[in-house]
Chains A and B, each alone.
Chain A
Amino acid sequence: MTVLRPQPPGTPAPVPSIFSAPYWEGCAQGELRFLRCAVCHLALADAPRICWRCHSRVLNWEVSEGRGRLYSWTIVWRPQTPEFEVPYAVAIVDLAEGCSIISAVIGCTPEDLVEGMELAVEFHPNSDHLSLPYFRPVGAA
C-alpha cells in the first residue's frame, strides 16, 4: 500500500520575494499565513502586490486556521526531477478563509482522495531554512 509522504529535503527550493518573505517565515514557524485586504477584507493567496478587487495596497498578514478542502488533485508518477520521490499527490486546496493554494496531500493512499475531503495543514522541511505546507486528511493518522 502506497502512503503519500512529504518530499525529502533537497528538492527545488522556493525563492521568496520582498512581498512573500513573511509567508515563508510563517511556514518555518508552523503557521500558514495569507494576506487579507485591509479595505474590502478579501483573502488573497500567493502574496499579491495589490487587492485585485478594490485595488488597496494595504494588505495584512493573517494566520490561517490551516483547514481546507480538496478541490482538484493528480497523482504524479513521473518525477519532475530525480530528487522527487513518486508517487506524490499535487493538489489544489480551498482554504476555509476563502482563497486557494497549490500543495500536496500526504498521510493517506492515492485511492483515499475524494473531492471536497477535509484537510489540515502541516509543515515539512524543504531545506535548512525553508518549510513547505502539506495537507493531511482530517482524521488520518
Chain B
Amino acid sequence: MTHPFRHAAIVGVFNTTQARALPGHDSLSIAIEGALGALADAGLETTDVDAVIGERSGELTYELRLGPCRRSINGLGIPAVLEAASLIATGQSQVVLVVGGSAGVYTERASTAPWTRPTNEFVVGYGMFTAVEFALMAKRHMLQFGTTPEQLATVAATIRNNGHANPEAVYFGRGPYEPEDILASRLISEPFHLLDCSTTSEGGCGLVLTTADRAADLPRAPAWILGGGSDAYGPAYQHAPIWDFMGQGGQDIPAGYVGRRAARAAFSTAGLRPDDVDVCEFYDPFSFEIIRQFEAFGFCPDGDGGPFVMDGSIGPGGKFPVTTDGGTMSFAHPGNSTQMLQRVIRGVQQVRGTSASAQVPAAEVAMCSNAGSGALFNDVLLVGSGRP
C-alpha cells in the first residue's frame, strides 16, 4: 500500500530569535517573521502559499495578502502539521504554511503565565496551574512505581544542558547543570522544582509543506512524515488529572498513558519500532513527562521510565538523545502553543542534519511529541530523512 504521506514533503523550517521578551513585537508580528523565515528556508514565496494553519492564520492571510487561500486556526503543533500533510496528500493544497508566534502576552509576573491557569468552575478555586496538573500525575507514578526526584532531576539536567549548548536557546550558556542543581532550585509544585519546569518566553516559528514533485525543485532535501497520531481524554486543565481515568476508546489505556494509542498508530503507519528512532524530540513541559512518554510510547515497560533515563541513553551520544535543542525548559516556550510546533521543527532539523547544536550523526528518524498527561492530550509525529 502506498504510504498516506508519500507525497507530502516538509521543505522549510524556521525559528525567529527566541528570548524571554522581544520588545517591539506582538504575537502577530513575530508570527509573520516565523512565516517569512520558513518560506525563505524553503526557497518559496508568499505567492506560492495556498493554505495557512495556525492560531493567527486569518490575520497572517490578511497582513501578507495571501488570499484567496485556505486558513485553519489549528494551533496545536503536531495536529497542525498532520492537517497540512493531509491537505497535500488529498490534493487540496500545494503549499501549506504552518505558523506559530507569541509575544507580549505574559506581562503580569506575580501570577503564573495566563495560558497556564484554568478557569473551569471545579478547579479555579484551588490555585491550580499547569505545574499542579502535571504534578498530580507525576505523584501517582511515584506512588505506583517508586519513581524518584533524582530521576526527574536527571531528565531536567540533560535537557537544560542541551539548551546550555544551543546558541539559539533562550538559556544558552546558562549551565552546565548537574541533577543536584535541579534539586537545589526552589519548589514550585512538589515534586517539581523550578528547574523541573518549562520556562516562558517569546518568539515565532514556521514550517512549510509542499508536494513531493514540487520539493524536487527546491534547495533543501525534504523531511518526510512517516507517521503520526493524536490522543485526548478531554479539555486541558478543566477536570481532575486522574492517572487511572479511562475513556471508552477500547484500548484499555488510562489517561496516565495518553499518547500510547497515538504512538502505536504512528509506528504502524511508519512500519517502525521504538528501537528504530534515532532522536527523541519529546515535549518537556515538566521533567517527569519524559519518563512517562518513554513508557507510553513503548520504549520501555510501564514503570521502568525512571531507571530508563538514568543509564546515559537520553544524553548526547546515547541511544535515545532527548529534546536536543533544550526544549521548553531551555530553548523556548513562546505562549500557549508555538513551542509545540518547535518540537517538529527540531525533529526536521535533526533528520536534515542542520541542527545548530547536538546534531545526532546520520539521524534518519526523529520522534516528536506535544503536550502530556497533565493536559490530558498527547500527540506524536515520526519524521524521517527517507521518503516513505
A114 to B337, CA, bound (A): 36
Stretch at the interface among B215-223, B237-245, B378-386: B237-245
The winner among A71, A82, A90 for most chain B CB atoms within 10 A is: A90
Task: Indicate which residue in A13, A24, A71, A88 contacts B127 across the interface (CB closer than 8 Å).
Answer: A88
Residues of chain B within 8 A of A42, CB atoms compared: none
Residues of chain A within 8 A of B137, CB atoms compared: 72
A46 to B242, CA, bound (A): 13
Residues of chain B within 8 A of A73, CB atoms compared: 136, 139
Judging by beta carbons under 8 Å apart, are B136 and A92 in contact? yes
Judging by beta carbons under 8 Å apart, are B143 and A74 in contact? no
A84 to chain B, nearest CB (A): 4
Judging by beta carbons under 8 Å apart, are A77 and B128 in contact? no
A14-B125, A90-B127 given; A80·B112 CB < 8 A: yes
B24 to chain A, nearest CB (A): 28
Give the residues from 9 to 25 in chain A that come closer than 8 angstroms, CB to CB, to chain B.
11-17, 20, 24
Stretch at the interface among B51-59, B168-176, B186-194: B186-194
A76 to B125, CA, bound (A): 14
Task: Indicate which residue in A74, A75, A92, A103 contacts B242 across the interface (CB closer than 8 Å).
Answer: A92
A90 to B190, CA, bound (A): 10
When each residue 22-62 of chain A gets 1 if its CB lies under 8 Å from chain B and 0 otherwise, what string results?
A: 00100000000000000000000111000010000000000
A78 to B140, CA, bound (A): 21
A115 within 8 A of B: yes
Count of interface residues, chain A, beta-carbon cutoff 8 Å: 39
B2 within 8 A of A: no
Residues of chain A within 8 A of B188, CB atoms compared: 76-78
Judging by beta carbons under 8 Å apart, are A74 and B136 in contact? yes
Judging by beta carbons under 8 Å apart, are B189 and A74 in contact? yes
Stretch at the interface among B7-15, B71-79, B116-124, B156-164: B116-124
Judging by beta carbons under 8 Å apart, are A77 and B111 in contact? no
Judging by beta carbons under 8 Å apart, are B112 and A78 in contact? yes
Dominant SS among interface residues on chain A: loop
Task: Indicate which residue in A17, A76, A100 contacts B132 across the interface (CB closer than 8 Å).
Answer: A76
Residues of chain B within 8 A of A81, CB atoms compared: 110-112, 117, 127
A81 to B128, CA, bound (A): 10
B115 to chain A, nearest CB (A): 13
A46 to B239, CA, bound (A): 8
B248 within 8 A of A: yes
Size class of B's contact patch? 35 or more
A79 to B195, CA, bound (A): 17
Task: Indicate which residue in A13, A45, A78 contacts B131 across the interface (CB closer than 8 Å).
Answer: A78
A103 to B136, CA, bound (A): 12
B373 to chain A, nearest CB (A): 12
A74-B136, A75-B187, A75-B189 given; A80·B129 CB < 8 A: yes
Judging by beta carbons under 8 Å apart, are B131 and A115 in contact? no
A60 to B241, CA, bound (A): 25
Chain A residue at smallest Cβ distance from B137: A72
B13 to chain A, nearest CB (A): 34
Residues of chain A within 8 A of B207, CB atoms compared: none
A56 to chain B, nearest CB (A): 15
Judging by beta carbons under 8 Å apart, are A80 and B239 in contact? no
When each residue 188-225 of chain B gets 1 if its CB lies under 8 Å from chain A and 0 otherwise, what string results?
A: 11110010000000000000000000000000000000
A72-B136, A77-B188 given; A15·B243 CB < 8 A: no
Judging by beta carbons under 8 Å apart, are B143 and A72 in contact? yes
Judging by beta carbons under 8 Å apart, are A104 and B190 in contact? no
B62 within 8 A of A: no
Instruction: Enumerate 6 A-B pairs (CB-CB under 8 Å) in ascending A order.
Output: A15-B119, A15-B124, A76-B132, A81-B117, A81-B127, A102-B126
Interface contacts beyond A14-B125, A90-B132: sample of 18 additional A-B pairs, CB < 8 Å, sorted by A: A7-B126, A12-B124, A15-B119, A72-B137, A75-B187, A75-B190, A76-B132, A77-B186, A77-B187, A78-B189, A80-B112, A81-B127, A88-B126, A90-B127, A90-B189, A92-B136, A102-B122, A102-B239
The 9 residue pairs across chains A and B that have the minimum distance between CB atoms: A14-B121, A74-B135, A84-B127, A81-B111, A80-B127, A77-B187, A75-B190, A78-B188, A132-B125
